[in-house]
Amino acid sequence: MDYTSKQFKKIIADKGLIHSFSRKGNPYDNACIESFHSILKKEEVYVHKYPNFEYAQRAIFEFIESWYNRKRIHGALNYMTPVEFENLRKEA
């Protein structure tokens, strides 16, 4: 199944999701996720040794949920944490 197929579009629509992609060749499509991956690697993955996959999975989950989303401010979010930004958005 192709991510541009009607079948895929129906699946995500049925789940209430919005499929986001822009025109072909747009270099900014993945900028946010690439930035996230860069931070994840520099601030978590490259500074720890994980004894096994399960430990790594837990540690990365903790990094994202307890640090990245709740304490680390983001310039793209007007220097708020993602949790603060989402809470503000829900209030509006």
pLDDT tens figures, 62-84: 999 999 999 999 888 999 999 99
Write down the pLDDT at residue 35.
86
**Residue boundaries of the structural domains of the chain:** 47-92
Percent of the chain with pLDDT over 90: 57
User: In Å, how far are 14, 59, 91 from 88, measured between CA atoms?
Assistant: 27, 28, 5
Write down the pLDDT at residue 29.
65
Write down the pLDDT at residue 73.
93
Residues 6+ apart with CB under 8 A from 78: 85
Nearest to 60 by CA among 85, 35, 37, 31: 37
* 28 or 42, greater pLDDT: 42
How much is the pTM? 0.65
Q: Is the confidence at residue 88, as pLDDT, over 70?
A: yes
Mean pLDDT for all residues in the chain: 88
